[in-house]
Amino acid sequence: MVRRIGLTMRVHSRSGELRNCLAQDWPSLLCRIPRIQWIQIPNLGEESLNYLSAWQVDQVILTGGEDTGTSPYRDSTERSILEHCLDNDLPVLGVCRGMQFIQTFFGGQLIASNAIHYSGQPHEVIAENSIGKCLLGSSTAKVNSYHKYGVAKEDLSPELETWAASRDGLVEICHHREKKVLAVQWHPERSLPDPGLAHRILEAFCNE
């Protein structure tokens, strides 16, 4: 079965013109995942739902880039998309900003993260349960980090559960307790010490 995945995009302003952008790392990764097709979702607010319907999108990735609250166009688009996916039981994967957006959508708070989390350097994460261990490929793994805000384990929305966390207590993988919503704080599309980690995350998402 072929899955059709929609990817949200960041909003970039150049010379007064707003542009929708997607990191080139995403096509490079998704082209290596079997049984999927993917399309980019423009930031159109509620009108983006017509786009999802016309292209018969089965699943959505809320990609990284920008902080939540910096672009009303993107925030309204992703809020409409997340509501649509929850109402229609469509799987969602949140990546970096996407995880933070999911946290705030379900009433949780964000905190400022320390320098290790936005330095681009690998750091260790620890599985919190057997599912997290399966995704990491072991009880621990190293991931990248490019985020100035994060989710403390104690602040995670009650509707979400932690599957892996960093040593300083930030959530690195979480999942909704009832819905098909998976989120990771790092960037699986970028270089990782274990390339298989990205494929395990994408496979888990595609098999939701």
CA distance 146 to 97: 10
Residue 43 near residue 73 (C-beta atoms within 8 A) = yes
Choice among 174, 175, 189, 206 that is catalytic: 189
Element (H, E) at 59: strand 59-62
Q: Which residues contact 196 (CB under 8 A, 6 or more apart)?
A: 137
Q: Alpha helix locations (H) across 119-185?
A: 130-136
Choice among 84, 117, 175, 187 that is catalytic: 187
Choice among 78, 84, 85, 96 that is catalytic: 96
- Residue 47 known to be catalytic: no
- Residue 199 known to be catalytic: no
CA distance 161 to 153: 9
Residue 52 near residue 81 (C-beta atoms within 8 A) = yes
CA distance 40 to 24: 12
Q: Which residues contact 65 (CB under 8 A, 6 or more apart)?
A: 10, 21, 23, 96, 97
- Residue 189 known to be catalytic: yes
Q: Which residues are catalytic?
A: 96, 187, 189
